[in-house]
Structure 1
Amino acid sequence: MLRKPSKECSVSVTRPIKPYHCYGRSLYDVIVVMKLISTSAIGAALLLLLHCCQIASNVGQKSDCALTVVENTEGRKEADKEAGVIADEDEGDFEVIQPTDNWQTLKAGQAVPAGSHVRLNLQTGQREVRLGEEQLKYWTHEHREIEDDQSTISADELKRAMKKMKEDLNPDSVTSKYRPLGELKRDMAQLDLLVETDIQIMKRLLDQLKNSNSTTELKLSLLLDLEYMVHQVDNAQSLCSMGGLQLVVEGLNSTDFRLQESSAFVLGSAVSSNPMVQVKAVESGALQTLLTIMATAQPLRVKKKVLFAVASLLRNFPYAQRHFLSHGGLQVLSELFRADGGGVLRTRIVTMLYDMISEKELISQAGLDMDPDAAHKERVHQYSKVSLQGELLEKGWCNLVPQLLESTEHDYREKALRALLAMAPMCLDQYRSDRSLLSSLLTLRDQYQEMVESEMIVGEENSYFAEIVALINALQVKMK
């Protein structure tokens, strides 16, 4: 016979907070109910539990209802202490915990928002809560909407941006934003500041350079500033129109080697990749002056800058190359090559010769790969008048260039090998009869092959030394 419970309990379906689920999670419900009911009334408790689940299913199957056991008023405090359940009537005193997507412990006296997922951890005996499945879906969807809103541009914002663009493109608007140059100059003059354009600066430099009262130190400083200016193509062309190029060429004839060096530096920078200035320089007699300086006894630092100016003047300019050959340029270079024991000038001379040979070959090959236009035909015609190969063979360069292989510098050897390959079509007979060249190639190949193998051991591939080995192999193949 079932006994009547010692305490009168009532069961109600409260707000949709689900610390205890009715479907598939009845273990905790049984524990809570059995703690509030005497042990002799187990049958009545089971009936009561089934009745609660029936009520929950009638409320609505879409919402996860919760089962809350509420005792009568007289035993509220005692029941709260035993079961850890807060009644609906004192809802304002609840401590509501905010679930996340991770499980967190639910302490006694804490409530959870609707839709939360609550479970009993059987290992720790603690209740745990996290966001329910619907909440997780809503949370991710909400954040995606926020990100989408931040990455999109409204129609009003687009209209305002287009309006601002039109205002910025308005000439009146531009004029109102920027002050005229004359007004800026007046303001700067009041501040004792001078605003000059590049043309004005160059004119001032040239005027001071013409002044006979200018000291050598001042002229060196002026030439240094001028060299900085003529790196720009427009400034270099302005130098010619202002008569400054003639001043620079005159500086090459100075008795002070420092002025010769600085003038050659300015000339080389001005003619570099600037066809208009190259033509003006050849017409002014700069090439003959440079060859004269190289043929006379001069300090090494002067010859370096003169070679720089000559190489810049001849690059991609067949007209200047033809004049260079007709004025004995290769003979001057060969004498300079033999006199140089350090190898610095030798390397620059060989590099310049290699560039001249490569330019002519590239122009000839380009005509085979495309339908040549009038400009290309004219360039081919100009390069055909440059008899560089014959001059190199006649002046003994087939035997001079291999001497650079005796250097201990890897860079010098590489440049010599590239020049030897470019000269191979006209120098093969001399190469084959030159025993010192054959011996040097075998020695260098073994030396660089060991370096390549050492680099491969440490995981380096396609190294610089492997390129040198490839150059030696290519030259040996041509010599067979």
Structure 2
Amino acid sequence: MLVWLCRVPGTMRRVSGRVGGSPFSSFLLAALLLLLLHRCRTADSLQQTSEGALTVVRNTAEGDQEATVDDVGELEVVQPSELWQTLKPGQAVPAGSHVRLNMQTGEREVRLGEEQLKYWTQEHREEAAGSSFSPDELKRAMRKIKEDLTPASTDPDTQDSVASKYRPLEELKRDMAQLDLLVETDVQIMRRLLEQLNSSSTTEQRLSILLELEYLVHQVDNAQALCSMGGLQLILEGLNSSDTRLQESSAFVLGSALASNPAVQVRAVESGALQTLLTTLANARPFLVKKKVLFAVASLLRHFPYAQRHFLSHGGLQILSELFRADGSGMLRSRIVTMLYDMISEKELMSQASAPDEDPSHEERLRQYSEVSLQGELLEQGWCSLVPQLLQSTEHDPREKALRALLVMAPVCLDQYRSDGSLLDSLLALRLQYQDMAQSEMLVREENSYFTEIVELIDALQVKLKRPERS
């Protein structure tokens, strides 16, 4: 290794190189010596003039540049980048920059130092270069990303330090297994709740248990599991309790379990739930109890013609008519009329539907619905004059439900409708009222034309009333 020192104004430059023993190496050595002597002479001549001086400046926080050597005139400071760029005579570079002598061109070149390159960002590159990425820069960036994504060092010490931050997989599996032992499924929770319900002695505890059960039985599988565990019988016992709060909560749980769950509906009818519910409605009970019991009855009868037939044979319509007449507040009337409307509508829809090719039970359902003589019972029980009373409500929802029920009951109640003067007057008054509301609805361009639908219901019912009776 041969080292030559050449003094440049204000600095000491060192040129080093390794020379072998071949003739070609000797030739390179001679050329290098000649070039070095030339550069040193040039440096001596430049010492007398400041145009060729290489000056290092320090970047300050305020952006000012302070020269570290004496110089004449104003300095032009070059902002280096990560690429080598040629230095012109009289230019200065910031401290920490990497300066080299290009042995092929004999020119000085500068780029960012190693520490500066480490913190070089896109923002700095844009400020210094003022241009977008070149293809070479993009390639280097992609290589850098791949390097960052490669696994960490293969040094055993480094790997041990990384591994110490994470728990072994086997240990995690053991912990998860222990957690699984602490997790209760819905079935396990219901079994525990039913045991507590059966052994609980205080009303408050039983109310709390029933509240949790009501939340769980909304799931179809949970409601079916409740029946298989004997929970249905415990709920029915709650309906027969002397405490009205237990009656209300038990009816709420039963209604939630019955809703859209044919398997539970069948089990409930087999367990005598329908008779228990009708008995509760017929006896003197607070309003909240009857409200929940009515919810359970509607859930049991919906889309279940077998239960509807038993409902009629056990005097269900008579119990509902008494409840309708006794409801002075009108809060139960809307629920009763809605239940009757649902029963009539689903039977009509079933009779109008065509039999699917892959549904052998369709004929059986038609046969069961044919055994439900609901409309004849409505006429006999006086519902043709009871339902129009709901039109006297001051709220829109009960009126809408009454109009829909009157339309589906029209085939058997049309004669009584035409002879009911109060019904005709109510329809005329409601027609004028809702016509104005519908026009206001159209002016503001409401998406849901609720009042327009009510006007259409009234018009359809008035058309039926004006049509002459056919023999």
What residue identity is the alignment partner of 1:234? D
One of 367, 392, 405 as aligned partner of 1:381: 367
Q: Tell me the distance in 2 between the aligned counterparts of 1:144 and 1:179.
A: 47
Distance 1:183 1:89, change over 3 A: closer
Q: 1:414 matched to which residue of 2?
A: 400
Partners of 1:398 and 1:175 in 2: how far apart?
Answer: 74
Aligned positions of 1:389-404 closer than 5 A = 389-404=375-390
CA contact (8 A) 2:441 2:451 kept: no
SS in 2 for 1:331: helix
The 3 A distance-change label for structure 1 pair 205 and 432 is: same
Instruction: Tell me how far 1:352 sits from its aligned partner.
Output: 0.4
| Post-superposition offset of 1:216 | 1.1
- 1:460, distance to aligned residue in structure 2 (A): 3.1
Q: Please state whether the residue corresponding to 1:443 is helix, strand or coil.
A: helix
Q: 1 CA distance for matches of 2:323 and 2:465? A: 28
Alignment of structure 1 residues 169-184 onto 2, 5 Å:
178=173, 183-184=178-179
Shift of 1:203: 1.6
Summarize deviations over 1:150-205 as a string: whole Å, max 9, x none: xxxxxxxxxxxxxxxxxxxxxxxx9997558753356x5xxxxxx32222221221
Q: Distance in 2 between matches of 1:386 and 1:361?
A: 12
Cα deviation for residue 334 of structure 1 reads 0.5
Matched with 1:201 is 189
Match of 2:312 among 320, 325, 332: 325
Q: 1:312 aligns with which of 295, 299, 304?
A: 299
Secondary structure of 2:218's match? Answer: coil
Q: Distance in 2 between matches of 1:415 and 1:409?
A: 11
Per the alignment, in what secondary structure is the counterpart of residue 330 of structure 1? helix
| SS of residue paired to 2:284 | coil
1:361-376 paired onto structure 2 within 5 Å:
361-367=348-354, 371=357, 373-376=359-362
Following superposition, the deviation at residue 250 of structure 1 comes to 1.0
**In structure 1, distance between residues paired with 2:413 and 2:170:** 67
**Residues 3-42 of structure 1: matches in 2 within 5 Å?**
none
Q: Which residue in the other structure is 1:472 paired with?
A: 458
In structure 2, the residue matched to 1:348 is: 335
Q: How many pairs are equivalent?
A: 339
Aligned counterparts of 2:244 and 2:257: Cα–Cα separation in 1: 20
2:206 corresponds to which of 219, 223, 226: 219
Q: Measured at CA, do residues 93 and 285 of structure 1 come closer, stay the same or move farther in structure 2, by a change above 3 Å?
A: same
TM-score with structure 2 setting the length: 0.63
Q: Residues 372 and 221 (structure 1 numbering): CA distance in 2 closer, same or farther, change over 3 Å?
A: same
Q: Does 1:297 pair with 2:284? A: yes
Distance 1:468 1:372, change over 3 A: farther
What amino acid sits opposite 2:269 in the alignment?
V
How far apart are the structure 1 equivalents of 2:241 and 2:403? Answer: 38
Structure 1 runs (4+) deviating above 6 angstroms are 141-146, 174-177
Could you tell me the percent identity over the aligned residues?
Answer: 71
Amino acid of the structure 2 residue aligned with 1:196: E
Cα distance, 1:303 vs. partner? 0.3
1:234-274 per-position Cα deviation (integer Å, ceiling 9, x unaligned): 11111111111101111111111111111101111111111
Partners of 1:461 and 1:240 in 2: CA distance: 44
Q: Quick one: which amino acid aligns to residue 418 of structure 1?
A: R
Deviation track 1:42-94 (CA, whole Å, cap 9, x = no partner) reads: xxxxxxxxxxxxxxxxxxxxxxxxxxxxxxxxxx9xxxxxxxxxxx9957759
| Greater RCO, CA 8 A, separation 6+ | 1
User: What pairs with 1:183-262 in structure 2 (closer than 5 Å)?
Assistant: 183-184=178-179, 195-211=183-199, 214-262=201-249
1:445 aligns with: 431
Q: Is contact 1:271-1:277 (8 Å) kept?
A: yes
What is the CA-CA distance between 1:373 and the residue it aligns to?
3.5
Distance (whole Å) between structure 1 residues aligned to residue 265 and residue 416 of structure 2: 35
Q: Which position in structure 2 is the counterpart of 1:154?
A: none
Q: Secondary structure of the equivalent of 1:374?
A: coil
Question: Are 1:285 and 2:292 an aligned pair?
Answer: no
Q: Which has the higher helix share?
A: 1
Q: 1:381 to 1:340 in 2, by over 3 A?
A: same
Q: Deviations over 1:14-61 (max 9, x none)?
A: xxxxxxxxxxxxxxxxxxxxxxxxxxxxxxxxxxxxxxxxxxxxxxxx
Q: Deviations over 1:412-465 (max 9, x none)?
A: 101111111111122111111111111101100100111122233334365211
- Residue of structure 1 equivalent to 2:325: 338
For the 8 Å contact 1:208–1:214, the answer to whether it is kept is no
Q: Deviations 1:322-374 (Å, cap 9, x if unpaired)?
A: 10000000000000001111111000000001111111111111127x55741
C-alpha separation between the residues in 1 aligned to 2:89 and 2:228?
Answer: 94
C-alpha change, 1:177 and 1:392, in structure 2 (3 Å) is: farther
Give the equivalent residue in structure 2 for 1:52. none
User: Does the Cα contact within 8 Å between 1:347 and 1:412 map onto a contact in 2?
Assistant: yes
| Structure 2 gap segments, 5+ residues each | 1-50, 52-85, 94-130, 141-168, 467-471
CA 1:396–1:144: 2 relative to 1, 3 Å: farther
Cα deviation digits, residues 101-124 of structure 1 (max 9, x gap):
xxxxxxxxxxxxxxxxxxxxxxxx
Is the Cα–Cα contact under 8 Å of residues 400 and 454 in structure 2 kept in the other structure? yes
Specify the SS of the correspondent of 1:344.
coil
Counterpart for residue 424 of structure 1: 410
The verdict on how the C-alpha distance between 1:94 and 1:268 changes in structure 2, with shifts beyond 3 A counting, is: same
In 1, Cα distance between the equivalents of 2:455 and 2:247?
A: 41
1:405 to 391, 406, 424: 391
Amino acid at match of 1:432: R
State how far apart, in whole Å, the 1-side matches of 2:446 and 2:188 are: 54
Q: Are 1:230 and 1:270, in contact at CA under 8 Å, matched by a contact in 2?
A: yes
CA distance in 1, matches of 2:248, 2:242: 11
Which amino acid letter does the alignment assign opposite residue 212 of structure 2?
D
Contact kept, 8 Å, 1:278 with 1:313, in 2: the verdict is yes
